[in-house]
């Protein structure tokens, strides 16, 4: 199978620029090709897509496949997350995110009975009420005639605070020994695998196969700007999907439960 992928990589070289700087760039350049030829590539398992991308990068960079073979011999798949400490805001359930609710004073009509004539429209002597001009109503003072007031629950913002932390969640493949050793050691634990600084510093040593923005109530022991390893595997069961971007991922819901607050 690897030989077939290498032959395919050679055939595809003209679809890529003459210089590809990083494996991540190669993966992103492959995305529109995957989309335009989805009927063909959709039959490729996720691991074959990863191999093909690395073969293309290797040949583009070194004019042979030795670099890719070395990467693949040391490849690991990792899901990892971090947080900046921001909490997720959700749509206000009381107003459905509108930020307003029906005025309780006028019941949404925007008008109330005139306080001078009690809605009758006339003075005691039978003349038209000077307060409402004989209409019997006046603009509601609580909503200014809109019939709506700011939602009490969200104070008009349409959103309410939650205890759920915003998380940056990555599915990556890497051939870097430091990342592999740290993530294998701290897989599923409440100790950080590495700092976000180290993760960014080693940016060229992995491919982000999928990125998610998640929000969960996690244990208070989670530190901000630290990377936590959820899963580590040499051969996970990969899934491939294409929405806005090409995404290769694997199931890890049970493993993530270790980080949730209960």
DSSP string, 179-219: HHHHHHHHTTSSS-SEEHHHHHHTGGGEEEEEEEEEEE-B-
Same domain for 59 and 4, yes or no, is yes
Q: Write out pLDDT tens, residues 87-117.
A: 988 889 888 888 999 888 888 888 888 877 8
Nearest to 24, CA basis, from 202, 232, 229: 202
Nearest to 256, CA basis, from 210, 209, 222, 207: 222
Query: What per-residue confidence (pLDDT) applies to 65?
Result: 97
Same domain for 40 and 135, yes or no, is no
User: What size, in residues, is the chain?
Assistant: 262
Nearest to 171, CA basis, from 222, 215, 217, 230: 230
Q: Is residue 156 part of a domain?
A: no
Instruction: Find out whether 55 and 5 touch, Cβ atoms under 8 Å.
Output: yes
Q: Is residue 157 part of a domain?
A: no
Query: What per-residue confidence (pLDDT) applies to 23?
Result: 98
Q: Is residue 224 part of a domain?
A: yes
Same domain for 84 and 178, yes or no, is yes
The structure tokens listed for 237 are 């069961």
Query: What per-residue confidence (pLDDT) applies to 130?
Result: 67
Q: Is residue 28 part of a domain?
A: yes
Give the range of the structural domain holding residue 113, as residue numbers without chain letter. Answer: 100-150
Average predicted confidence (pLDDT) for the chain: 91
Same domain for 179 and 255, yes or no, is yes
pLDDT over 90 at 252, yes or no = no
Q: What are φ and ψ of residue 206, in 5° steps?
A: -155, 165
Same domain for 80 and 172, yes or no, is yes
Q: Is residue 227 part of a domain?
A: yes
Whether the CA torsion 13, 18, 21, 26 is positive or negative: it is: negative
Q: Is residue 65 part of a domain?
A: yes
pLDDT over 90 at 176, yes or no = yes
Same domain for 230 and 128, yes or no, is no
Q: Is residue 260 part of a domain?
A: yes
Same domain for 87 and 212, yes or no, is yes
Q: Is residue 240 part of a domain?
A: yes
Instruction: Find out whether 148 and 181 touch, Cβ atoms under 8 Å.
Output: no
Number of domains forming the structure of the chain: 3
* DSSP reduced 3-state for 123: coil
Give the pTM: 0.79
CA angle 246, 231, 38 (to 5 degrees): 15
Same domain for 143 and 262, yes or no, is no
Same domain for 184 and 253, yes or no, is yes
Nearest to 157, CA basis, from 214, 105, 95, 108: 95
* Per-residue pLDDT band at 48 (split at 50, 70, 90): very high
Instruction: Find out whether 167 and 83 touch, Cβ atoms under 8 Å.
Output: yes
The structure tokens listed for 262 are 């209960």
pLDDT over 90 at 12, yes or no = yes
More confident residue, 261 or 31: 31
Same domain for 69 and 80, yes or no, is no
Instruction: Find out whether 59 and 10 touch, Cβ atoms under 8 Å.
Output: yes
Same domain for 69 and 85, yes or no, is no
**Beta partners for 167?**
214
Same domain for 85 and 190, yes or no, is yes
What is each CA distance from 81 to 143, 187, 190, 227, in whole angstroms?
Answer: 46, 12, 12, 5
């Amino acid at each position: 199978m690897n030989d077939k992928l290498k032959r395919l990589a050679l055939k595809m070289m003209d679809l890529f620029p003459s210089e590809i700087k990083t494996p991540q760039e190669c993966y992103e350049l492959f995305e529109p090709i995957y989309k335009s030829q989805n009927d063909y590539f959709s039959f490729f398992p996720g691991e074959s897509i990863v191999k093909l991308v690395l073969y293309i990068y290797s040949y583009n960079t070194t004019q042979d496949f030795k670099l890719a073979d070395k990467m693949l011999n040391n490849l690991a798949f990792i899901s990892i997350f971090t947080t900046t400490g921001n909490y997720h805001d959700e749509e206000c359930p009381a107003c459905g995110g509108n930020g307003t609710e029906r005025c309780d004073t006028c019941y949404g009509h925007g008008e109330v009975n005139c306080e001078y004539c009690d809605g009758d429209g006339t003075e005691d002597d039978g003349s038209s009420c000077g307060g409402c001009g004989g209409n019997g109503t006046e603009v509601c003072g609580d909503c200014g005639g809109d019939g709506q007031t700011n939602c009490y629950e969200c104070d008009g913002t349409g959103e309410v605070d939650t205890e759920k932390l915003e998380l940056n969640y990555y599915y990556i493949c890497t051939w870097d020994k430091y990342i592999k050793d740290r993530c294998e050691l701290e897989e599923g634990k409440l100790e950080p695998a590495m700092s976000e600084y180290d993760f960014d510093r080693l940016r060229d040593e992995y491919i982000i196969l999928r990125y998610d923005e998640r929000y969960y109530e996690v244990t208070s022991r989670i530190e901000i700007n630290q990377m936590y390893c959820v899963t580590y595997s040499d051969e996970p069961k990969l899934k491939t999907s294409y929405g806005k971007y090409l995404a290769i991922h694997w199931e890890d819901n049970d493993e993530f439960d270790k980080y949730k607050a209960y």
